[in-house]
Amino acid sequence: MTEIFHALVLNLHQPPSNLDSLLDTNDWEVKEILFALDRMPRTLWAYEDVARVHLSMSGSLLESLSHPEFQRKVYGAVDCGSVLWALQNQKTSKPEDLRVRLCGPQAAAYERRQRKLYPMGHAGQASFLGAPTAPKTWKIRTRSTSVATSPSPPSPAPRPSALREQ
**Least confident segment among 44-48, 53-57, 99-103, 146-150:** 146-150
- Angle subtended at Cα 47 by Cα 117 and Cα 50, rounded to the nearest 5 degrees: 35
Q: What percent of the chain has pLDDT over 70?
A: 71
Question: How far, rounded to the nearest angstrom, does the alpha carbon of residue 3 sit from its chain's CA centroid?
Answer: 26
Alpha-carbon distance of 13 to 55, in angstroms, equals 11
Q: Provide the mean pLDDT of the chain.
A: 77
pTM of the prediction?
A: 0.50
| Mean pLDDT confidence for 26-55 | 82
| CB distance 30 to 75 below 8 Å | no
What pLDDT, on a 0 to 100 scale, did the predictor assign at position 122? 61
